[in-house]
């Protein structure tokens, strides 16, 4: 797949909270995901599709999403694209509702996402 197809497919899936379904087809098996901070207690960096799948499961178990917005993709050459996220969610354990803003940079190699990096605002 070319970068534009990968980027557009990912953005569309994120808009419907279906991005986890893309992990096997759109991510390299050894992909790396890097968070802005250690939000989950699992460290900032997660390696491999199974680890990234675990991050998605952790998010679903810990947060209720009320809404949000996904913008992009913003292409950068042949190997990178960015997506911006605004998420309105409640942390289930504490009941604290917040709006989070993130920028994600995705790196693509040989038709698969090999790296994703998230930048968060405070």
pLDDT value at 77 more than 90: yes
* Residue 97 belongs to domain spanning: 3-120
pLDDT value at 122 more than 80: no
Q: Average pLDDT of the chain? A: 94
Query: How much is the pLDDT for 17?
Result: 83
Work out the number of other CB atoms within 10 angstroms of the CB of residue 19. Answer: 18
pTM for this predicted structure: 0.92
**How many structural domains compose the chain?**
1
d(CA 78, CA 6): 11
The token pair that represents 27 in the structure block? 């991510």
Q: How confident is the model at residue 88 (pLDDT cuts 50, 70, 90)?
A: very high
d(CA 35, CA 57): 15
Q: What is the CATH number of the domain that holds 37?
A: 3.10.450.50
Q: Are 66 and 40 in contact (CB under 8 A)?
A: no
**For residue 41, what are the CA distances in angstroms to 58, 74, 91, 114, 115?**
11, 30, 15, 23, 20
Residue with tokens 């990178």: 80
Query: How much is the pLDDT for 13?
Result: 93
Over residues 35-41, mean pLDDT: 85
């Amino acid at each position: 797949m070319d970068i534009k197809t990968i980027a557009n497919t990912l953005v569309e899936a994120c808009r419907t909270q279906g991005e986890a379904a893309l992990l096997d087809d759109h991510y390299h098996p050894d992909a790396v995901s890097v968070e802005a901070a250690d939000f989950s207690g699992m460290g900032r960096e997660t390696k491999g599709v199974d680890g990234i799948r675990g991050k998605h499961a952790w998010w679903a178990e810990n947060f209720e999403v009320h809404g949000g917005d996904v913008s992009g993709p913003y292409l950068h050459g042949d190997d990178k694209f960015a997506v911006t996220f605004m998420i309105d969610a409640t942390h289930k354990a504490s009941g604290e509702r917040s709006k989070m803003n993130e920028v994600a940079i995705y790196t693509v190699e040989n038709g698969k996402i090999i790296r994703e990096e998230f930048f968060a605002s405070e």
